Structure 1
């Protein structure tokens, strides 16, 4: 049993922004981000199949959703800016300061942002921010049927912890939830792997990766 006699609940305020070499995250703002985010993301239901929100048939519907998301204290939504502009959102959520646990979720990336260094760096920045603030555990959860999200969790180095069956009802259907986590003791090694992948030297002249993140975190 690990002695936590020195543990104190965290006093932490989510940052207004986070920035790296490829990506920038700002607290979601309706006026600053909603129009660009709606334009960057397809209206088709398939794009939003595993999300608790969406699809958004027109900019006004997206704006109404963004108003609520921007006002929320938990989850805390961020707009993600990549090489083509504001193109995705993600949140820091289920913020448990007493136990040092936080989740990264509500991740919706436009097709143009997916599978880019900016997308990877955005998630890295959120994980790094959490551990720098003193959190002990960062969680990733997804619909157990969401194979791309499960692969992404493994790629970042999250450890699969199991499936919670009949965990919730999402958009009128059952959702079994796959749980993943990174612990603070895991992060130094994984952080080094992330930074090695994000280094300019890891990409060739055409932008192709020399080493995969999954290999580096493996």
Structure 2
């Protein structure tokens, strides 16, 4: 269907009674394998610093403008600064089995007037990477954005050379939109940025895929029978 104005110009579809949405809150959201809670230095910094130090190298810091951190004091200061920022809402990801922080991410570039946010500052420790817990953490955040906040769009952006991040975005259901060339200088080098997004009309499909993938029947001895991508494809549109 197409829409036209009084000048017979084609325009976008109408949004009846559209109102700006509320700003994300520093909420705690519980899942089966993990929960996410507001990030703060006192509770999480030491645990996260310890968790990240278990990595075999510093590759998690390569494609983001922060880190690596060589001492706890510097890392605590960083966590304090971002946790108190008015520009984003930071979350720690807590392993339900241990009660310890194993990663963090944020809602940033928040545009409540248009119902848009970006998930960023995704820094997962080895304990969290490539686990059901990691997938569930993203699911909890996405569900909050689309259902509790009623936003229309959630973005994912990464360095165009960051292949793992691109694969993660597409696995989670984000669609590639294009590349912004030479958009940033960080750590003394150029960055071209790939943009991905999920929009509100796609969320129901994404949510069903997440829930089917996380179902206990999809796992045998901790190993998945079907990948999240396969589950989503089998659901169709």
TM over 0.5: yes
8 Å Cα contact 1:156-1:217 kept in structure 2: no
Residue of structure 2 in register with 1:6 after alignment: 17
CA contact 1:155–1:217 (8 Å) conserved in 2: no
Give the drift of 1:123. Answer: 0.8
- Counterpart contact for 2:106–2:121, Cα < 8 Å: yes
Which one has the largest radius of gyration? 2
Q: What is the TM-score when the length of structure 2 is the normalising length? A: 0.88
Aligned length: 217
Bigger drift between 122-131 and 7-16 goes to 7-16
Match of 2:31 in 1: 20
Given candidates 152, 164, 171, the residue that maps to 2:180 is: 164
Partner of 2:134: 119
Q: Distance in 2 between matches of 1:172 and 1:18?
A: 37
Instruction: Could you list the structure 1 runs, at least 4 aligned residues long, displaced by more than 2 angstroms after superposition.
Output: 42-47, 82-85
Deviation of residue 45 (structure 1)? 3.5
Deviations 1:173-200 (A, max 9, x none): 1110000000100000110000111112
Q: 2:155 aligns with which of 135, 139, 153?
A: 139
Q: Answer with 28-37 or 79-88: which moved more.
A: 79-88
Deviation (angstroms), 1:127: 0.8
Distance in 2 between residues matched to 1:138 and 1:165, nearest whole Å: 21
Q: Partners in 2 of 1:126 and 1:15 — Cα distance?
A: 12
Are the aligned partners of 2:179 and 2:193 in contact in 1 as well (CA < 8 Å)? Answer: yes
CA-to-partner distance for each residue in 1:123-173, whole Å, 9 max, x for gaps? 111111000111000101000100000000110111100110001111111
Long gaps (5+) in structure 2: 1-11
TM-score of the pair, normalised by structure 1: 0.95
SS of aligned partner of 1:177: strand
Q: Which residue of 1 aligns with 2:198?
A: 182
